[in-house]
Structure 1
């Protein structure tokens, strides 16, 4: 009987993996909606405790989410678009600066051979491409016309996400209760213990790390813009997004900001010191305030495991795999921790039952 149940479980896991493998091209909006519902469920629960019904709590959260999203769309997106276009314009000048200033300096300092890095072909290709695509709006419209079905699918997904999120949020507690009711009675306590640990890890990482990323993005972007860096908003937000892996946002952000600052300010010392100070302050706040307050020490996901999970998920399932990577990695980590504890308590580890030679 035990062997039969084990085969049932293995078959269920196999069918679940096959389901995700076959349907992953259409799962993205559902996974995004599931992630958003998971993020906002505690807020809806608090509104329920305050006296609102579940439906009105979901409506209130939707109104707040729509307000924030609209504000970002009206304020942040035009600023980012302007900086992206500015970066597009500055790229040939940056290549000229690298070729005629930065690389000759590196060559004289480190004794490198002449022409150790060829920029002529790269610069010519970029300049030619820019000459052919001066009208950005025209390029976007032509691509949209050429791939009309893809554009329609994208718009359908964008409409589908809030609809699915609404119903998931409204029925979240009911769905969790029904799933719990389907658990084998003799395994319910252990499964709920594992689920509670997974929820703790996921909650700490998904909610906490997301808030840390947003806070760091705001700190870096605001600091760089106060210094006067032209691409400060773009670099700050990229550094905040890269903070999903500890220290990666700091390394990418300060590297990109120093290169942009060196190109913009030349040899002026004070702006460069200001750039370094912005990232040092952000790193100090992350280590001493943001991460302990918002994430805590219960994540247990090593930075290398985070990088591997994201790359493996993207390779296996594309963008859907990226969305699933960290939750699956967190669940696997909890299971591995319990298997490790069972092994340490087993006779195999202690060697009690092994015959003496």
Structure 2
């Protein structure tokens, strides 16, 4: 097959895959979650199998433990988080109005004098900004909920996802061997090398980032709850769980928690400062300890590229797109680096010897 035919084949395959994601994105979520669980737990299953346990019993043991942890989470934490979420959504308009009034009262006259505008104009501008921010938060929460509600449903979480994870985890090695048998024989070594590089990039990020999100979520939630912040458990867990988006998790959590703290604690500003310090400490731990130790530079992606991939895939494919954004971006990054190496070693970059000699002369 000529190079042109190969390029056409892979472009058509990519287009079919993207079309499949777009058409079936509404029902793919529990299946993607099951694939993620199987991929995440496969090394543990391999370790148990190496210790002498049969693959079937290793799979059952791991999934039973995983489902048990989920059940305990839903029984112990979900009711508390659900109550806090309902109360937060109910009080959110009042919190916004109180925060707006507090900021206008404490800072309005100073900023108005410094900017050379009237306090009424400043208050109107602040009202517009706070209103737009509140609308953005409400739309974001609604979008996340509508996109993730299939995953949170009893059917998908406790039936479909574990079943998919069980069969994939049980047959993981056989599936890998089957896919390996379909690879083009002329390029087998090269494709296997790229696949190993992709696996290292995806596995390093997924397994490391899950640990980072859980640790940060626990730290934020416990710290804010100890400080007595209203909705502290909800804000902390939410900030930790979206920490896979660089700077967004900590930024959203900081804005929400400081806003709630201002309404709740003002004029006792040390409590507000303590709430802000929680996220400062969390960012220090994430940037200097957790990320370097647990994730590192496994994906090879710049944070800006990672953020663009998350938003782009989320825009195109919804919540499912956000789940596959990082693995897909890591794979694309591996292919892009491979293409760059091929280009740098090709005559297109180096030029012919005749042209090189002419340039030197």
TM-score grouping bracket, smaller chain normalisation: 0.7 to 0.9
2:72 match: 71
The CA distance in 2 between the partners of 1:25 and 1:353, in whole Å, is 55
**Contact (CA 8 Å) 1:313, 1:321: kept in 2 or not?**
yes
2:145 match: none
Worse-matched range after superposition: 163-172 or 319-328: 319-328
Q: Does 1:116 align with 2:124?
A: yes
Deviation for aligned residue 1:162:
1.4
Q: How does 1:86-165 map to 2 (within 5 A)?
A: 86-111=87-112, 112-113=117-118, 114=120, 115-117=123-125, 156-158=155-157, 159-165=159-165
The CA distance in 2 between the partners of 1:13 and 1:177, in whole Å, is 22
2:210 match: 210
Q: Summarize deviations over 1:28-77 as a string: whole Å, max 9, x none.
A: 22211111111111111111112111111111111111111011101111
The CA distance in 2 between the partners of 1:11 and 1:244, in whole Å, is 31
The CA distance in 2 between the partners of 1:314 and 1:286, in whole Å, is 24
Give the secondary-structure state (helix, strand or coil) at the position aligned to 1:25. coil
Q: Does 1:335 align with 2:343?
A: no
Higher relative contact order (CA 8 A, sep 6+): 2
The CA distance in 1 between the partners of 2:316 and 2:108, in whole Å, is 42
**Contact (CA 8 Å) 2:99, 2:259: kept in 1 or not?**
no
Deviation for aligned residue 1:179:
0.6
1:246 match: 246
Worse-matched range after superposition: 28-37 or 188-197: 28-37
Q: How does 1:1-357 map to 2 (within 5 A)?
A: 1-2=1-2, 3-111=4-112, 112-113=117-118, 114=120, 115-117=123-125, 156-158=155-157, 159-353=159-353, 355=355, 356=358
Give the secondary-structure state (helix, strand or coil) at the position aligned to 1:64. helix
The CA distance in 2 between the partners of 1:7 and 1:311, in whole Å, is 28
Deviation for aligned residue 1:91:
2.6
Deviation for aligned residue 1:102:
1.6
The CA distance in 1 between the partners of 2:14 and 2:101, in whole Å, is 59
1:129 match: none
Q: Summarize deviations over 1:93-150 as a string: whole Å, max 9, x none.
A: 3234234322233321211530424859x99xx9xxxxxxxxxxxxxxxxxxxxxxx9
1:131 match: none
Deviation for aligned residue 1:310:
1.7
Distance verdict in 2 for CA 1:255–1:21, change over 3 Å: closer
Give the secondary-structure state (helix, strand or coil) at the position aligned to 1:116. helix
The CA distance in 1 between the partners of 2:241 and 2:220, in whole Å, is 11
Distance verdict in 2 for CA 1:191–1:225, change over 3 Å: same
2:141 match: none
The CA distance in 2 between the partners of 1:118 and 1:274, in whole Å, is 25
Distance verdict in 2 for CA 1:33–1:101, change over 3 Å: same
The CA distance in 2 between the partners of 1:289 and 1:259, in whole Å, is 28
RMSD (Å), alpha carbons? 2.6
Deviation for aligned residue 1:203:
0.7
The CA distance in 1 between the partners of 2:25 and 2:96, in whole Å, is 40
Distance verdict in 2 for CA 1:180–1:92, change over 3 Å: closer
Deviation for aligned residue 1:353:
4.9
**Contact (CA 8 Å) 2:310, 2:322: kept in 1 or not?**
yes
Worse-matched range after superposition: 324-333 or 78-87: 78-87
The CA distance in 2 between the partners of 1:7 and 1:98, in whole Å, is 57
Q: Aligned residue pairs: how many?
A: 330
Structure 1 spans left out of the alignment, 5+ residues = 127-149
